[in-house]
Structure 1
Amino acid sequence: MISLRYLGLVLLGVVSAGVCSAGSFGDWPKGASPDEVGHRVAENYLARPYQLFGPQRVIHYVETCTWIGSLRFARDAGDRALHERLVRRFDPLLGPARILIPPALNVDYTVFGAVPLELYMETRDQRYLAPGLTLADQQWATPTDESKLSPEAKEGVAAGLSWHTRFWVDDMYMITMLQTQAYRATGEKKYIDRAAAEAVAYLDKLQQPNGLFYHAPDVPFFWGRGNGWFAAGMSELLSALPAENSQRARILVSYQRMMATLLKRQDQSGMWHQLIDDPASWEESSATGMFTFAFITGVKNGWLDEATYGPAARRGWLALVARIDEQGRVRDVCSGLNKANDRQHYFNAVRLVGDLHGQAPIMWCADALMR
């Protein structure tokens, strides 16, 4: 059943799709419009089975990220049929396939809760609310229990953080996205306060004076997608964080500092590199998509100057579109990558085609441009 709220959002999507035709975010070359690209990549996603991972063989976090982006795109593009198919993708998980829903063991598993919360917000079907809130609350079941923190996280950890805290840069998206979604779905302040507190702890631990982030405290490399997770996570958080939240100013300044350095590090091609500060490293698509999403979101919300960041976002989008094949698969995507205190580790990462790490940010960007 499609809710009245969905119909209202569709109308807003149709309107926004019509007004985003000026400046950097319009007049696209043939085949490069957000509507065309978003539909092509969404169809590629829907044709796939669930992507599973881990010893439990549960739904992968990249499935979560691509699913949310596709849902939002379909809503804002006003494509009711596509949206319905994306909603129905969850149906097996309400039955016997519920065993594929990840348990709340770590950040990569628990972020899945953001999907049912998105479905609840778009349909108001109560069946989706409980699975999302259960994972959001389990993420804070035993806040900052030192017995469950990784060794590098224990030093100087603040009270009240998630027991999933480990201070890897990608956690900033995985933890804060779920809590932000729980806040959006319920309006309960505790969720957004958790997200903001976690963000500031990670800013204190990982952000460097140039605004970029180490992969981990003991891994001093500016890995592209790792920084992309942080850029996307801050964009999502700032989009929901109330003006009166005591941490908002700190997070916004840190986001803007990061964006300023990313602007300087964007290649003439429109891409960013596997190691952001090393132009000898290869141009990588998932990081480029995440940074482009952060630029688009910042411009549209007034956090970034449109004349400065709008053209850079456009270059990023067009560079990504050029890397999408006829099947809707994006190339030059870094494989899943653990931390390592070894520069060559990042150079040697496998370059994939069609991996959901790269598909997801394409959908985020397409939706952000359509709004």
Structure 2
Amino acid sequence: DTARQMADYVLREAPRFADGILQHTVNSEKHVFPEQAWVDTMMMAGLFLLRIGKLVGSEEYFEDGLRQYHGHEEFLQDMETNLYYHGWDHVAKNNLSGIFWGRGNGWAALTMAKALPLIDVTHPSYMIIDGSLRDLLSALVRLQHPSGLWHTVLTDPDSYLEVSGSAGIASGLLSRGSLYHKSVQKALSAITDAVAPDGRVERVSAGTAVMRDARGYKDVPYKRIQGWGQGLALTFLADVVRSKSRAFQ
């Protein structure tokens, strides 16, 4: 019942712009981002709507989830690099600071990989999302640091290496089977090394708004435990376990 209430709020009350794209909204009157799309929404709303739509048999929820994927691809995926920008400002008609944020691309890769099994291959959306994911992963694999991680600003080698975004990216790569095996193995080693003996996932950046410039992203701290770091690492590690189980079936 709670999940349905949340889905109904997103479907009928959440602020939108353009062709029904969800405005990124923070639960605070002090932080309002009019007509802005942030890549985070692909995870926080898009995948949620697909999953609950599939679970309860609601085409309305499901199609709205697909709408979010298509809208965010349209506004955020750069056709030259195939990477996803962090944000889009529909009023100014630009990508704000124009940064390719590591965790944002992790959200995009992970959620598209998780969305595809929910969509019938004969649905037109399947190939749209599959093509976006294919091109994104082919770009991301080239940006992997020799350590196995990715930078918090993907195209800035002076920015720190960050674990949560790397886990999301690695899950996306793993969804392609053995195609990116070497890259996934490097990421697995680096991510497990970042898990402290008590289970804390380290080197995870704090909450990150669309910052004004690359310096802003570099200054986001990564000292404390973060829920999204735990969740993304667990998702990747669970995917690894599942992939190994399938290999021995």
- Among 221, 244, 247, the alignment partner of 1:350 is 221
- Shift in Å at residue 298 of structure 1? 2.8
Q: 1:83-122 to 2 correspondence within 5 Å?
A: none
- Among 310, 316, 330, the alignment partner of 2:181 is 310
State the alpha-carbon separation in 2 of the partners of residues 243 and 362 from structure 1. 29
- Shift in Å at residue 348 of structure 1? 0.6
State yes or no: 1:182 paired with 2:60.
Answer: no
State the alpha-carbon separation in 2 of the partners of residues 330 and 193 from structure 1. 35
Q: Name 2:75's counterpart in structure 1.
A: 205
**Larger relative contact order (CA 8 Å, sep ≥ 6):** 1
Q: Name 2:116's counterpart in structure 1.
A: 238
1:285–1:320 contact (8 Å) kept in structure 2: yes
State the alpha-carbon separation in 1 of the partners of residues 188 and 54 from structure 2. 28
Q: Name 1:255's counterpart in structure 2.
A: 133
Q: Name 2:98's counterpart in structure 1.
A: 220
Q: Name 1:24's counterpart in structure 2.
A: none
State the alpha-carbon separation in 2 of the partners of residues 206 and 277 from structure 1. 16
Q: 1:301-340 to 2 correspondence within 5 Å?
A: 306=178, 308-340=179-211
2:96–2:210 contact (8 Å) kept in structure 1: no
Q: Structure 1 residues 160-169 or 260-269, which shifts more?
A: 160-169
1:207–1:214 contact (8 Å) kept in structure 2: yes
Q: Name 2:28's counterpart in structure 1.
A: none
1:266–1:272 contact (8 Å) kept in structure 2: yes
Residue identity opposite 2:165 in structure 1: A
Give the greater-gyration-radius structure (CA): 1
Q: 1:359 to 1:244 in 2, by over 3 A?
A: same
Residue identity opposite 2:148 in structure 1: G
When the two chains are superposed, the root-mean-square deviation of aligned CA atoms in Å is: 1.7
Runs of 5+ consecutive residues of structure 2 not aligned to the other structure? 25-34, 88-94, 243-249
State yes or no: 1:268 paired with 2:138.
Answer: no
1:139–1:163 contact (8 Å) kept in structure 2: no
Aligned residue for 1:212, secondary structure, equals coil
- Shift in Å at residue 231 of structure 1? 1.4
- Shift in Å at residue 262 of structure 1? 0.5
State the alpha-carbon separation in 2 of the partners of residues 278 and 213 from structure 1. 15
Q: Name 2:9's counterpart in structure 1.
A: 138
State the alpha-carbon separation in 1 of the partners of residues 157 and 38 from structure 2. 23
1:234–1:251 contact (8 Å) kept in structure 2: yes
Q: Name 2:167's counterpart in structure 1.
A: 289
State the alpha-carbon separation in 2 of the partners of residues 296 and 244 from structure 1. 23
State yes or no: 1:171 paired with 2:49.
Answer: no
Aligned residue for 1:338, secondary structure, equals coil
State the alpha-carbon separation in 1 of the partners of residues 149 and 72 from structure 2. 26
Aligned residue for 1:335, secondary structure, equals coil
Aligned residue for 1:354, secondary structure, equals coil
- Shift in Å at residue 310 of structure 1? 1.6
1:333–1:358 contact (8 Å) kept in structure 2: yes
Residue identity opposite 1:175 in structure 2: A
Aligned residue for 1:167, secondary structure, equals strand
TM-score by length of 2: 0.84
TM-score by length of 1: 0.58
Residue identity opposite 1:281 in structure 2: S
State the alpha-carbon separation in 2 of the partners of residues 193 and 245 from structure 1. 11
State the alpha-carbon separation in 2 of the partners of residues 208 and 287 from structure 1. 18
Residue identity opposite 2:170 in structure 1: T
State the alpha-carbon separation in 1 of the partners of residues 160 and 54 from structure 2. 37
- Shift in Å at residue 203 of structure 1? 0.5
2:11–2:61 contact (8 Å) kept in structure 1: no
1:161–1:197 contact (8 Å) kept in structure 2: yes
Q: Which one has the bigger helix percentage?
A: 1
- Shift in Å at residue 330 of structure 1? 1.4
Aligned residue for 2:36, secondary structure, equals coil
Q: Deviations over 1:46-76 (max 9, x none)?
A: xxxxxxxxxxxxxxxxxxxxxxxxxxxxxxx
State the alpha-carbon separation in 1 of the partners of residues 186 and 45 from structure 2. 30
2:23–2:37 contact (8 Å) kept in structure 1: no
